[in-house]
Structure formats: structure tokens, C-alpha cells
Amino acid sequence: MKTIDIEKRSIGVNFQEDGKAVVRVWAPSADKLDLLIVQTGEVVSLNKREFGYWQVTTDRLNAGDKYCFLIDGKIKRPDPASLSQPDGVHESSQAVSLKEFNWTDTGWTNPPLGDYIFYELHTGVFSPEGTFSGIEEKLDYLLELGITAIEIMPVAQFPGNRNWGYDGVFPFAVQNSYGGPNGLRHLINACHNKGVAVVLDVVYNHMGPEGNYFDSFGPYFTDKYNTPWGSAINVDDAWCDGVREYFIENALMWFRDFHVDALRLDAVHAIKDLSATHILREIKENVDALMKQSSRKHHLIVELDLNDHRFIDPVKNCGYGMDAQWIDEFHHALRVAAGGDTNGYYSDFDGINHLAKAYRDAYVFDGMYSPHRKKIFGSKTGNPGWQFIVFSQNHDQVGNRMLGERSSQLFSFETQKLLAGAIIVSPFLPMFFMGEEWSEPNPFLYFVSHTDPELAEAVRKGRKEEFSDFHSAGEVPDPMAEGTFLKSKLQWGLLDKPDHERMFKYYQALISLRKNNQVLKKCNRDNLEVVADPENQLLLLERWEGEHRLFCALNFSKQRRTAVIPPSEKDWNKLISSSDKQWGGFEDSPEITIGNANLEVSPESVVIYFNNHV
């Protein structure tokens, strides 16, 4: 493992105790590198060091000053490790002191990952303000709902003011229109003081197209591999050491200097690395060193489309050491079971049977043939349940639809409750997508605000071509239009409407069960039995911890179905039923039932019973 200073950031502009700025830049392509201080016009030359680095210590640059770099005396560029881009991606960087913030979260302890109940949100559309302070104003609401961790979509500086965040081109800089670095730190500090963990979505597999000036400094990219977004990040080709350090430093900064609790690493299957030590493992080793030094706990979560448990296996077992992963296959099987799409990658899933397999095995394709991929895919995993995150909606699965429809527009009110229940009873970590808890009808559309006219038009064209077979569904929303962004805003006023309020209270009840029930709060994959009845579209799930037993019936059909309650010497007591009238259903399930009795399960519903079985 390459030695990296875990105690402080060592690239970009950083300030010493004496106030002097240490400027260190990786620019192996440069023959000469100068620091230009914008306000004064002063030029400070950097000294060339080994391995492509340039460095200088100066008292000319102060926190708050704007600056840029002159490459070979003629090319002016922002700092690739900039902490702030107050005027956007094409303009000068702003020097920021990472020490100048009054943290008050010393009493905060990051909970074990198994206690996380995730709530994914997008800063721009979550609140009317579209800022970090707007999120902060809703923290009491999230606590009332029962959320223990918010997952914030990427905040790295992107062009304009509207973007999902995956077009960021300054991984160290916090989006100016959201509130910049101090706004994010203020939000995290407030979250911790209210007992909420913060997960930050970061992108280490590609850079956005506009404002991407990395090639001016050095070989941050390689033609050795291709990704869906172009050339791959260079983590195993010539000159890769500087690139690897760049991203390791980024992960350490979020944990150390911003007090982030967990990182969600976007699409790590697109990080191409044949090095002896995979970049993810090297990040993990450095984060472990940081945790040992700071006594703070941090988690690394990955989005992974490989069904390869090596990514989440411990380093000691020759894995990459990631703590958990998103598991899309549970989502796909669940949606097909509920009567959703069966085209594209959904064509691999048969609904009830594969949902039962997802409950049992986490990976549906674990060495089976995948017709969609046209190959045998995946590996079996014995990893614990808390290493898998499941959901019925997320930004990708909603926003990558042409019209960005949420479940509220695709499924009945009853089925929406069924989907939520299916997530809660799993032995995995539950995640919810902003607004689903009140059945938000507004779409979550794809939106950008590129300032390059040619790029903007290319995005429009690409989006239309992507959905060329769906013209009957209407026009593809213009991703550049402000109206597309505004249509994606949450409608908080709906919480006052009866059905939306009822859905919120239902989610609140489900989350409370998840947090407090002796069985549900354990992510135990071993103590689980599941039976699929595809003919009747019925799935029966039983879980237990010691003498505590839980039974759940999920009816995905539109007819009443009969389920046999498992044998028990004690009565089964109802915990919740989505068909009960208090949740807007049509009939109440019995409060108590006995073992081996027939239970009538309402259409499109979930019912959960519990007992202390002896």
C-alpha cells in the first residue's frame, strides 16, 4: 500500500497552522506550473518534485482567495483538487481552509451499518430551496418518519445549477448552488446533533464532460478500457499512482474533514483495475488506518452490477473490503412480481420465484444462465444480510425511465404499500427514495444544465435516441429545460391530503416495526424460510430469532388468496396489515390467528404476524 498521510489532505491547496498555503499538484504533463492569484495578479512558481508532483509553500494565498494554475505559462486551468468553484466549472477555484469550521458533533457515534435505514435524496429537488439548508429544515420530519441515515446524491461541482450529480468534474469541490463546502458541513453537523447518519454518493468511475480539464494536467484517463461514459479512469496504466492517490485522498477527506459517515461509490463495476491491489481495497486499507487513528467509524458502500462477493468480502479473506452493496436484483424481482416491466434487464426475472430466491440468496443470478446477458452470471454469497441494501425505488430505477414515473404512477395504492412491506421484512438493509413515503406523484426526471450549447444538444439527442421505441408514450422531456427540473420537485403540501398522510403513517409504522421488532431488526439470512406460489402470486416468508418468530404473507395477485399459518403452540398476533382500513385498505385482517389455520390474504397486500414460539 502506498503511504498516504491520513491525518490531512496533501493535494490541492491546504493551510498550515502558521497560515501559509501548501500547494501540491499532480501534473506530470507540465514542463512548468505556476499559481495565479486572481485578486492580485501575483504569480507564484511551483517546484517540480518526483512522480509528477509540483509543490510550493506560500504566504501570498489566503483562505477565500480565488486562484488558478498556469500550465507551461499559457494554459489557465482551475485546480483539479479544488474545494470550491464559486463561479462554476470553467472559472477560478477558491482557497478553503478545512480547519475553519466549528464542529459540535463530538458526542456523535456512527451506528453499525445494520442499524441504517436509508433515505436517498437529491439536494436540488428534495426541498423548495434546493439547498443543504433546505434538507436541514426537514430533519425533524425525517426523524418522525424513522430514518436513521440520509443518502445524498453526488454534490461534486457540476456545470450550471441543475444536475443529478453524476456529471461532476471537481470531486473535491461541493456544488456552489447547494451551499458549497460550509453548507455541507453545517448540514452534516446538524444531522449528527439530531442522531442522523450521512451517506454521500461519490463517483470514482468517470468524470463529467463539461469543465473536465484533467487531461491538461496528466493522464487521469486511459484508452486501455472503455466505460459507458468514455475512457476509463486510469487506475492501473502508466502514471496511475497519482490518480489512485487522488481518489484515496478524496475518500479520506469526506470522512476526516466533512465527518461523512459512509460513502456510496457509484457503479464500481466500471472501475477497471488489474493492479495487484485493487483501488477499492487500497481505499479500504487507508480508511481503516484513518479509523484507527481517529476512533471514528466509517462505512464504504458500493453500487455493483457483478454479483461478485469479492467486492464485499473482508480484506483478510482476500476481498476488497467494501462494507455493503446495493442489490438491484432484489428490486428487479420485486417489480416483476408486482406486475411491472418485463422488458430489458427485467426480462431475466420471473417475479415470485426469483423474489423468493432474492430473499434466500441475496443474488438471484449466482452462477445461473442469464438470458439477457447471454452467459452464466454471478457467484453464490454467504455474506451477512447487513451487507446488502434493497429498495423498491431509487434514483436510477425511476429517473432512467423516459417519463421518470415513480411507483405512485405505475402501481395501485395497495401495491405501493405491498412493495414497502416487502422491503421491510427482508433480512437486508432497507432504503427508501425521497417522497415515496407519501406516494409523491411528481416524476423524478433526468435533468442537466450544461452551458456548452453543443453538449446540451448532444444530451437532448441522446435522450431521444435512447427512447426511440417509446414514442407512443409521448415526447421525451427536455433534460436541459428548467421545467423538467421543477417537475421533479417534491410536493410537501401533499402530506396534508388524506391518502398521502395515510401512506406516510403506514411507512412510519413499518419503519418502527423494523427498528423495534426482535426479528425484523436483525439482518439474519440464516433464520429464514420462504415459499413461493407462482400460480397464486403468493409468497410466504418466515423468520425467527430464538423463540421469537415472524410470519409474513405477500399477495401480489388481484384476488384474495389463502395462506396457511405456520404451526405454533402460541397464537400469532398481527403486527401490521396493509389492507387494514386504517391504512386506506378495504378489510381488516384478523388481530390474532392460530397455527395451521387458513388466513385469507387481501389482494395486493402484505400482512405480518408475530409470536413468541416455544
- Residues noted as catalytic: 266, 303
Lookup: cell for 251: 475518500
Please tell me the distance from the alpha carbon of residue 355 to that of residue 339, in angstroms, as a whole number. 13
Nearest to 557 by CA among 352, 413, 410: 352
The residue to which cell 486499507 is assigned: 285
Has 269 been labeled as part of a binding site?
yes
Which letter does DSSP use for residue 85 in this model?
A: -
Contact 451, 408 (CB under 8 A): no
Tally the residues of the chain.
614
CB atoms within 10 A of CB 138: 18
Instruction: Please give the full DSSP string across 408-471, using - where no structure is assigned.
Output: HHHS-HHHHHHHHHHHHTSSSEEEEETTGGGT--S--------S-HHHHHHHHHHHHHHTGGGG
Has 267 been labeled as part of a binding site?
yes
What's the alpha-carbon Rg for the chain, to the nearest Å? Answer: 25
- DSSP H or E segment with residue 486: helix 482-487
Please report, to the nearest 10 degrees, the dihedral formed by the alpha carbons of residues 353, 354, 356, 362 taken in order.
160
Please tell me the distance from the alpha carbon of residue 257 to that of residue 187, in angstroms, as a whole number. 13
Has 470 been labeled as part of a binding site?
no
Has 395 been labeled as part of a binding site?
yes
Number of H helices, E strands in the chain: 14, 31
Q: At what angle do helices 240-258 and 279-294 cross, to 10 degrees?
A: 30
Strands 197-202 and 149-152: parallel
Please tell me the distance from the alpha carbon of residue 572 to that of residue 565, in angstroms, as a whole number. 8
Has 268 been labeled as part of a binding site?
yes
Local structure of 585: helix, strand or coil: coil
Has 264 been labeled as part of a binding site?
yes
Please tell me the distance from the alpha carbon of residue 507 to that of residue 511, in angstroms, as a whole number. 6
Has 331 been labeled as part of a binding site?
yes
Please tell me the distance from the alpha carbon of residue 466 to that of residue 180, in angstroms, as a whole number. 33
Residue at 84: amino acid letter:
S
Please tell me the distance from the alpha carbon of residue 409 to that of residue 104, in angstroms, as a whole number. 42
Nearest to 121 by CA among 96, 142, 143, 104: 142
Has 192 been labeled as part of a binding site?
no
Backbone torsions φ then ψ of 543, nearest 5 degrees: -130, 155
Please tell me the distance from the alpha carbon of residue 554 to that of residue 419, in angstroms, as a whole number. 9
Has 397 been labeled as part of a binding site?
yes
- Contacts of residue 137, Cβ cutoff 8 Å, sequence gap at least 6: 127, 129
Has 329 been labeled as part of a binding site?
yes
Has 317 been labeled as part of a binding site?
no
Contact 76, 69 (CB under 8 A): yes
Q: Give the distance from CA 417 to its chain's centroid.
A: 23
Q: Which residues are annotated as a binding site for substrate?
A: 264-269, 328-332, 395-400
